[in-house]
Structure 1
Amino acid sequence: MPEGHTLHRLARRHHRRFGRAPVIVSSPQGRFVDGAAAVSGQVLIKASAWGKHLFHHYAGGRVVHVHLGLYGSFTDWTPNEDGIDPVPVGAVRMRMRGAECGTDLRGPTVCEVIDEADVDDVVAKLGPDPLRPDADPGLAWRRITKSRRPIGALLMDQTVIAGVGNVYRSELLFRHRMDPFRTGATVTADEFAEMWADLVALMKVGVRRGKIVVVDDEHDHGAPSYRPGRPRTYVYRRAGDPCRVCKTPVRTVEMEARNLFWCPNCQT
């Protein structure tokens, strides 16, 4: 599932490519016909993101709300030299066509038209987003310090912090040598403040570079689990491989239905 930096990159790209101009919206798949008709031809005022949620704000107060889920993705395209748009390939839920380019959305968990007031309702259920300048880390801290759930689970809870997925969760805990099974109530204010600051910095790099970068240069050596297209990591998807720092085999276990990766020696 795409993590928060991906949605913020999408919001920036969509605003740059389609913002402040009318957009033709359609649904080649046929599952978003009414929604597309409600905004097609309207000016896209802005695109924004909160956690893993993407919002296209149109003139007139209508908003297209997208959650990519596990399989959703946008594919950009341009007309050919004769100005003809490419034929939609596969199940395209939503097609956006601007003055010079377009993008196709496939496989989202959510693609719906809502009002601005509904956006507030969606956001109200989420924790602070580290990539937003108005983020309140104190809200996340209060939820963590009152919980007996493990910190490894709390970091993935979108009502605690919005936008953190499995990669950032596993890597952040390793970078701070924190046992993922510690309960939230045992995490100190200083520990959380350091983790939050690091998370903000890491996710900003993700937005800027378009990929997750979490391994410090001093530890960035070859590893047998590396695969092209995957982020280079300390522990994520490296079960059984030697820890980059201490050489102890990385372990994995299921925590609240998601695979957790950690070093049992460094994270104690």
Structure 2
Amino acid sequence: MPEGHSVHRIARQFDRNIVGRVVSASSPQGRFAEGASVLDGRTATAVRAVAKQMFLEFDDELWLRVHLGMYGAWDFAGEIMVDATIASSNGRMGQTNQRGTELEPDAPILDDAGENSLTSIGAPRRTRVHVRMSEQTTGLADDGEDWPPPVVGQVRLRLLTSVTAADLRGPTACELQTPDEVAATIARLGPDPLVDDVAEGEERFAAVVRRKPTPIGLLLMDQTVVSGIGNVYRAELLFRARQNPHQPGRDVPDEVVRELWRDWVRLLAIGVETGQMMTMDDLGPDDYRKAMASRDDRHWVYHRAGLPCRICGTAIVVEEAAGRKLYWCPSCQA
């Protein structure tokens, strides 16, 4: 499932390539045909990401709400302007590899797990699109393909400008909302470090956690408690805090709760900048490049069931928690 950093990167992609432009909207799959017909011919005016949801505004105060869920993704094709902050650090966005990519001489490391691709952001995806890793891409014309690109697979929504295509596949939610409905949706979400005041977010988060009997490992995944944390960040935040995931939130020391929030502020910023859920600190240059290239070298406990803890050597445990896999060290996090 895409976590908070991916959704913020998607919003940046839309800000550079879709906002301010008239779009043609269609639903090749047919499941969003009515909504697409309402959007068709409108101008995208703003975009914002909150938690794991993106809100794209069109003229007449009409909003498109998209929640990618477990399997959703946005595929981009054509002339793609890369956010300067993102381009400077990694150049690739999302979770896919694409053929024909031409890299600049100082190109970033390419993830063997398929994360951090320019052309697709969300669930793992393969794409046919030819993209150069530069501030202004050359798009499909170099491959001799027609414009717009042919629809491949089950595309819920296609947003098309004169030079850029954005295809949405497999979202949990894709709907039109009024400004009041958008506000109500956001009001139900916990604080997001990239949206809310960080100090106020800390107070909101701490206040909720300290009154909950729910295990802290479940609270971190509750988007009404804190926004954007998914399975990877949950496991890594708890390990970095040496916090037992089963301890009730109200029993977790206040200083630990606050440090969890502050650590989320740090890790989310790194994730948005690099496109990777990098959770290990103080790595030397070689180890850092290795970690950026492979998620197996990027995390403390996530996806390391049965392997020795990097700190104490105890085998990492994996168990089911509310239908999701929870990774933790029973010694360091006792």
TM interval, shorter chain, is over 0.9
Partner of 2:267: 202
Shift of 1:218: 4.9
| Corresponding position of 2:157 | 94
1:261 to 1:31, Cα distance in 2 relative to 1, 3 A: same
SS in 2 for 1:249: coil
The runs of 5 or more residues in structure 1 that have no matched partner are none
- Corresponding residue for 1:57? 57
- Relative contact order, higher structure (CA 8 A, sep 6+): 2
- Matched with 2:76 is 76
Match of 1:173 in 2: 238
How far apart are residue 99 of structure 1 and its match?
Answer: 2.9
Distance 1:92 1:162 in 2: 27
Residue of structure 2 equivalent to 1:161: 226
Q: Which runs of 5+ in 2 are unaligned?
A: 79-138
CA distance in 1, matches of 2:319, 2:174: 33
TM-score (norm 1): 0.93
Asked if the contact 1:211/1:231 (under 8 Å) is kept, the reply is no
Paired letter, 1:262:
W
Is 1:132 the counterpart of 2:195 in the alignment? yes
Distance change >3 Å, CA 134–CA 45, structure 1 → 2:
farther
* Partner of residue 245, structure 1: 311
AA in 2 matched with 1:142: A
Q: Does 1:85 align with 2:148?
A: yes
Residues 231 and 110 of structure 1, relative CA distance in 2, 3 Å threshold: farther
Deviation at 1:188, TM superposition (A): 2.2
Name the CA distance, whole Å, in 1 between partners of 2:8 and 2:174. 17
Q: How far apart in 2 are the matches of 1:80 and 1:127?
A: 40
AA of the residue aligned to 2:255: D
Q: Cα deviations across residues 117-141 of structure 1 (Å, max 9, x unaligned)?
A: 1101111211111222435222221
Give the match for residue 17 of structure 2. 17
Match for residue 120 of structure 1 among 166, 179, 183: 183
Residue of structure 2 equivalent to 1:184: 249
Identity of aligned residues (%): 41
Most deviating of 27-36 and 229-238: 229-238
**Amino acid in the other structure paired with 1:129:** D
Answer whether contact 2:77 2:140 (CA < 8 A) is retained.
no
Q: Distance in 1 between matches of 2:176 and 2:196?
A: 26
Number of equivalences: 265
Deviates more, 1:167-176 or 1:99-108: 99-108
Q: Which residue of 2 aligns with 1:267?
A: 333
Q: Give, as a single letter, the amino acid of the residue that structure 1 aligns with 2:15.
A: H
1:175 corresponds to which letter in structure 2? R
Whole-angstrom distance in 2 between the partners of 1:176 and 1:92: 41
Pair 1:236 & 2:299 matched? no
> Displacement, 1:145?
0.5
Q: Is the 1:213–1:231 contact (alpha carbons within 8 Å) kept by the matching residues of 2?
A: no
CA distances 1:197-242 after superposition (whole Å, capped 9, x unpaired):
11111011100111110012459969xxxx9566721111101000
Match for 2:325: what amino acid? N
Distance in 2 (alpha carbons) for counterparts of 1:244 and 1:155 = 23
Aligned equivalents of 1:234 and 1:131: distance in 2? 24
Instruction: Give the RMSD, CA atoms, in angstroms.
Output: 2.1
For normalisation by structure 2, the TM-score amounts to 0.75
CA offset digits 1:4-56 (Å, max 9, x no partner):
11000000111110111211111111111111111221111111111011110
8 Å CA contact 2:68–2:171 kept in 1: the answer is yes
CA distance in 1, matches of 2:33, 2:295: 34
